[in-house]
Chains A and B, each alone.
Chain A
Amino acid sequence: MDIKLKKKASPYGVKVPENKLSDKIPIEPAPLPDKVVIPLQQNIGAPCKATVKKGERVLVGQKIGDSDKFVSAPIHATVSGEVTGTKMVINPPTGQLVNALIITADGKDEWLELDVPQSPESLPVKELLTRIRGAGIVGLGGAAFPTQVKLSPPPDKPIDTVILNGCECEPYATSDHRVMLEYGEKMLRGLNIIRKILDPKAVYIAIEDNKEDAISHLEKLIANSEFRDDFKIVPLKSKYPMGAEKTLIKMLLGREVPIGKLPLDAGVVVHNASTAKAIYDAIYEGKPLIERVVTITGAVKQPKNLLTRFGTSIGSLINYCGSMNKGANKLIMGGPMMGIAQFDLDFPVVKGTNCLVVQESKLREEHDCIRCGKCIEVCPMGLMPTDLARYAKAGRYDECKEKYIDDCVECGACAFTCPANIPIVQYVKVAKKELAKGATR
């Protein structure tokens, strides 16, 4: 299989106002929280069971939750202090009720002794995978899929390409952009670990062309390192949703992921830029995943990129960035296109939180579909969103399935472009959930 590079702009997708307010602002560590609330399920897959008891003292990086299922990732304490209780909280991205541990910080920030390997480069693949799982690494692009599962493909599915996704096509979000600029070298070493595990024929770093400084910075880094023959940077035209896994594969390699299958089936693995940096931390420094860069942006006094411990309440981060502007009435976790609006400032930052957007939004009234077909033009998966929404509205979920609703990546391009303000993605999500329940009327 030879790999062809296509540098065309995507014929699908939509131009969205980028609003990258914080792309010139360096990453700074957020203040240590007094109390963290850590949900015991932060990834796709099985929830974890608590491994510590109430009243126990924990150190930073100590494992506090684990599961014996394959698709799972352990969870670590993000501050040192005492476990003061458990409570049921809403898992912010999904809305499920999950158990959470509350840790009251003692302010000392004492770390567990880190297990740093002597020569990380020469560790065997199996050891690397166990270390990645042990560090609780999940995909940091937003979906939070456990990374070690992605890195251990079944033997009958050869992987010939690895793509590092630095597109960050969501408006407002700049966390990956800053990670590429400031932790570029760590990220490349993390990518090298991924390459070692999967042994692909080619490794690409995909970056949208609105991040010119990141492209030139990484090009310089690669030229001066031992990876100069292996890694290749591919600038892509910025068009939403370029960073969606399936779109990216289609644009870059001209391959399509089969219906209902994973990128694995097309011989490709896509990892996020921040994930590669987290892999570096886990392998070279022995650090588990306890913090990530979160962009706080939108209608706040000073947009910032904050290195945040998980479990910090989103309200305290917003206060740190100066309060919200007057008239701000909406807080979205994730980017404005795919994120979910939150109603409580006490919700914690979790592994999948890449961005918090404060908006001054107006209520948009839903009108009837005028059959303009704009959503069909922009759908990156080539679906007919108008039909899906109409069937879902009427409760005809099996017809949604016939129209390939499972292929929808919920990018939100259709709802963004809809002149009748139809919340198409929400209809699709309802239909998907009802289909999963097996309910047909």
Chain B
Amino acid sequence: MIIGILTGIGIACGVAIYMVYIKVPQKVKGLEKTEELHDILPGANCGACGYPGCFAYAQALAKDPSLMTKSPCAMVLQDPERLKRLEKALGISLDASAMSKKALVHCNSDSPVISDYSGVMTCKAAAQLLRGYKKCLYACLGLGDCVKVCPQGAIFIDPEKSTAVVNTEKCTGCGLCVKECPQNIIELVSPKTKIAFLCSYEPLKNIPGREKCSFGCIHCRKCFNACEYEAIKWNKEKAIPEFNHEKCTLCGKCIEACPQHTLIDFTRVRKETELISSSP
């Protein structure tokens, strides 16, 4: 009798579990697309897109494919194969070369250290106290906040000048370092950039830039006058040159003309960084 009842309950339970297994789908509906996108994304969870991790970004992308143009995943843009898959999945076409960016530290400072800074050894803390310990108020402090935040390990500190340098080969242009820098001297530039302007010194009218650092822009306009291709525009407000990289032929006249060596061939920045990074 008891055995019969227990067997009956057992069979009923088995049938119930089988029915549930058949009826309820294995996967949550509506997430197929997100999961497909998540497979394509690099999975680094660097947070540079502004979303907490790649899955959250995939969820947002599934809802709104145009997000890829507004806040693109910089790592996908660097990888042609992933980019192709993502384009196919989203059904849009992306111009990776126009969208990808490289970080450039606008400072080549050898600005002398004027006070013994001791305390919290981060750029943020040092910048908060009277804007750092270097003579130039706009100098890279070289304490490495950007190095810590870079998911690619593309930034390192030049030990001679204690200035951050970006290895453009490794840099994906995610922009995390730009947000991190308290001196606001890192900018995302197009990889087509030919001339790099390495100074952030804003004109303080009665202190010429050369007193602060031997590489500082002194706003002399020599580069502007030297250019034969009209590739340099003079920004009157900031008193610094602006470059049109389409017109620039990289003839090198502005680099020669610059008395402060503030201008550097952008491709050479890349090569120099390779040299430094390969040496231990």
Partner of A430, one of B114, B120, B204, B206: B120
What is the count of residue pairs linking A and B with beta-carbon distances less than 8 angstroms?
51
The digit string for A309-346, where 1 denotes a CB below 8 A from any CB of B, is 00000000000000000000100000000001111100
Contact B129 A340 (CB under 8 A): yes
Contact A95 B130 (CB under 8 A): yes
| Contact residues in B for A430 (Cβ distance below 8 Å) | 120, 122, 124-125, 128
Give Cα A227–Cα B256 distance, bound, in whole angstroms: 78
Give Cα A429–Cα B129 distance, bound, in whole angstroms: 10
User: In the complex where A87-B205, A340-B129, A342-B130 touch, is A426 in contact with B119 (Cβ < 8 A)?
Assistant: yes
A433 within 8 A of B: yes
The digit string for A378-411, where 1 denotes a CB below 8 A from any CB of B, is 0000000000000001000000000000000000
User: In the complex where A95-B129, A329-B116, A343-B133 touch, is A439 in contact with B122 (Cβ < 8 A)?
Assistant: no
The total of chain A residues at the interface (CB under 8 A) is: 25
The digit string for A76-100, where 1 denotes a CB below 8 A from any CB of B, is 0000000001011010100101000
Most buried by A among B119, B129, B130, B207: B130
Give Cα A50–Cα B156 distance, bound, in whole angstroms: 43
Partner of A87, one of B115, B119, B204: B204
Contact B205 A364 (CB under 8 A): no
B179 within 8 A of A: yes
B252 within 8 A of A: no
B278 within 8 A of A: no
Give Cα A430–Cα B128 distance, bound, in whole angstroms: 7
Question: Which residue of chain B has the shortest Cβ distance to A364 in the bound complex?
Answer: B118
A363 within 8 A of B: yes
Partner of A343, one of B115, B119, B205: B115
Contact A92 B204 (CB under 8 A): no
The digit string for B125-136, where 1 denotes a CB below 8 A from any CB of A, is 100111101000
Give Cα A429–Cα B119 distance, bound, in whole angstroms: 12
B61 within 8 A of A: no
Contact A433 B47 (CB under 8 A): no
Contact B128 A429 (CB under 8 A): yes
Chain B 129-171 residues near chain A, CB threshold 8 A: 129-131, 133, 137
Min C-beta distance of B140 to chain A, whole Å = 17
Min C-beta distance of A87 to chain B, whole Å = 6
Partner of B130, one of A90, A429, A433, A439: A90
Contact B120 A427 (CB under 8 A): yes
| Contact residues in B for A92 (Cβ distance below 8 Å) | 130
| Contact residues in A for B206 (Cβ distance below 8 Å) | 85, 87
Give Cα A430–Cα B133 distance, bound, in whole angstroms: 16
Give Cα A87–Cα B203 distance, bound, in whole angstroms: 11
Question: Which residue of chain A has the shortest Cβ distance to B132 in the bound complex?
Answer: A95
Give Cα A102–Cα B204 distance, bound, in whole angstroms: 14
Give Cα A427–Cα B115 distance, bound, in whole angstroms: 20
Chain A 181-228 residues near chain B, CB threshold 8 A: none
| Contact residues in A for B137 (Cβ distance below 8 Å) | 90, 97
Give Cα A429–Cα B120 distance, bound, in whole angstroms: 11
A267 within 8 A of B: no
A441 within 8 A of B: yes
Contact A343 B124 (CB under 8 A): no
A160 within 8 A of B: no
Give Cα A434–Cα B127 distance, bound, in whole angstroms: 12
Other contacts beyond A95-B128, A342-B130, A343-B114: 5, CB < 8 A: A340-B130, A426-B120, A427-B120, A430-B124, A441-B47
Closest 8 CB pairs of A and B: A343-B115, A95-B130, A426-B120, A430-B125, A423-B119, A363-B118, A88-B204, A426-B119
